[in-house]
Amino acid sequence: MKIAIASDHAGYHYKTIIVEHLEKLGHEVVDFGTDSAEACDYPDFIIPAAKAVAAGQCERGIVLGGSGNGEAIAANRIHGIRCALTWNVETAKLGRQHNKANMISIGERMTAEEDVLKIVDAWLATEFEGGRHERRIEKIDTLSQN
């Protein structure tokens, strides 16, 4: 799978761990930065990654920051993105089962290092359930028109 990834300085360490893991699994990772732990502004990296997913250049995307909140907010501004804020395996699975999340956001300051790859793996392995959730996904797009 072709996967976009991006973080700010606060998510940089977990980004390196996830990139190594995904590449070992055979995924193609497109890294939108940041490239160091030097302080930066998360929209500069998260928005291009979300645009790549929305445009179909990448199938899925992962964004990281301190809390993951700003990164999820930024990604979800891009039409077609459903970015779930995930902090454990259950929220990662539900993000796929109920929300068809094509991106996840992880807060490095909120998530134990031993959990981060479990979250990513659970999200990648879980399918959308469809059914009643399909209607709700469609309403997100139709009802959110300004």
Ligand X SMILES: O=C[C@H](O)[C@H](O)[C@H](O)COP(=O)(O)O
Annotated binding site: 8-9, 66-70, 99, 109, 132, 136
With respect to ligand X, which residue has the nearer C-beta, 42 or 87?
Answer: 42
- Closest contact distance (angstroms) between CB of 14 and ligand X is 11
Which contacts qualify for 123-130: CB closer than 8 Å, 24 or more apart? 123/84, 123/86, 123/92, 123/93, 123/95, 123/96, 124/1, 124/60, 126/92, 126/93, 126/95, 126/96, 126/97, 127/96, 127/97, 128/96, 128/97, 128/100, 129/97, 129/98
Active site residue 13: no
- Catalytic residue, from 13, 98, 129, 133: name it: 98
- Closest contact distance (angstroms) between CB of 71 and ligand X is 6
- Closest contact distance (angstroms) between CB of 108 and ligand X is 8
Known binding-site residues for D-ribulose 5-phosphate equal: 8-9, 66-70, 99, 109, 132, 136
Active site residue 71: yes
With respect to ligand X, which residue has the nearer C-beta, 100 or 108?
Answer: 108
With respect to ligand X, which residue has the nearer C-beta, 86 or 100?
Answer: 86
Q: Residues of 26-41 as b/e, b for ≥16 C-beta within 10 angstroms?
A: ebebbbbbbeeeeebe
- Catalytic residue, from 71, 79, 113, 133: name it: 71
Position with the least CB separation from ligand X:
70
Where in the sequence numbering do the catalytic residues fall?
71, 98
